Amino acid sequence: MPGVTAAFAAGACAEIPLTHRTCASAIAFVTGHEEPGKAALLDWEALARFPGTLAVYMGLTQLGHIANELIAHGMSPDTPAALVYRASTGDQRTVTAPLGQP
């Protein structure tokens, strides 16, 4: 979807609302793929406490690390999660599972 932020396109194409009055009233956009040696790294504790949807860009190769960090910093392993690969393309794949499911 040209011109639409990738996270919104992923949510729309996967039919997953990024905000919903009963679940989440805010969205945080973060990277899942940090540049090696970068001084500022993600604050996993703050992200685990964030009271809304986390949209993680480029997180496929770091998926296990991301889930482990969020759980280690207090997010429930039962938190619903979705992985949307190649969002809004003909090759889109969507997988949903609790955050702690391997």
Record the tokens describing residue 8, joined without a space. 């919104």
Residue 31 is assigned to a structural domain of this protein: yes
pLDDT at 40: 65
Please give the residue range of the domain that contains residue 23.
Answer: 6-98
Domain assignment present for residue 1? The answer is no
> CA–CA distance from 42 to each of 10, 11, 12, 45, 82 (Å)?
22, 23, 26, 9, 20
pTM above 0.85, yes or no: yes
User: Within a domain: residue 94?
Assistant: yes
- Compute the average pLDDT of residues 54-68: 93
What is the CATH classification number for the domain harbouring 39? 3.30.950.10
Give the model's pLDDT for residue 3: 57
Work out the pLDDT band at 33, boundaries 50, 70, 90: confident
How many structural domains are present in the chain? 1
Judged against a pLDDT cut of 90, whether residue 66 lies above it is answered with yes
Quote the mean pLDDT of the chain: 90
